[in-house]
Amino acid sequence: MEIEKVGEPQHVVSERLLTIPNVLSILRLLGVPVFLWAILSGRDGLALLLLLLSGVTDYLDGKIARQFNMESRLGGFLDPIADRLYILATLFGLMWRDIIPVWLVVVLLARELVMAMMLLYLRSRGQVGLPVHFVGKAATFNLLYAFPLLLLAHRDDWIGDLARPVGWGFAWWGVVLYWLAAVLYAVHARIVLTQGARTVTP
């Protein structure tokens, strides 16, 4: 079952599979192993291009889906998976190359663990999941902007010097918003569970 935002009308999504946003999400998913191979093998140009394309398509699939009423259940399932796989692949690749510190990986993975435990608890209480929150999407955008810049920051020239502070700025904002989104999801989950308990109470 879908969890609706409190106080908002029911949001209807389609069962269609072949839509432009879904195709973009699938292409992003297919790009994850290619990106991981590129960054681990030192092909930074290709890795950077794939990261940039991931950020662009992540923006476009949501924009097109909302603008042209192409939101679907499949899209709602694929989009966050593609986001997380790109983030995890990038974290692993950049950490393997010693471009980002281990603590950044730990902080972001800890948030993923918290969210996984929260969703498992909701599932045990009969709820399937939570709607995507704007803060969570903003966090993802910040991280997807930060990673290419941090990759560029690895260069020993003026481009690296310019990319380094900007990349870390996006990274810090991404970390803060990522955890803020987890707190908001927890608050929303509590409201949903409380309302559900009141509904079943005779």
Structure confidence at residue 10 as a pLDDT band (50, 70, 90): very low
- Classified as helix, coil or strand, 92 is helix
Q: What is the pLDDT of residue 34?
A: 92
pLDDT in tens, 84-114: 888 888 889 999 989 899 999 999 999 989 9
Q: Which residue has the tokens 């923006």?
A: 59
Confirm if 24 and 54 have CB atoms less than 8 A apart: no
Confirm if 36 and 89 have CB atoms less than 8 A apart: yes
Of 49, 142, 132, 158, nearest in space to 104 by CA: 142
Q: What is the pLDDT of residue 133?
A: 74
**Average pLDDT, whole number, for the chain?**
81
Q: How far apart are CA 151 and CA 72, in angstroms?
A: 34
Q: How far apart are CA 44 and CA 188, in angstroms?
A: 40
- The DSSP symbol for 98 reads T
Domains in the chain, start-ordered, CATH in brackets? 20-200 (1.20.120.1760)
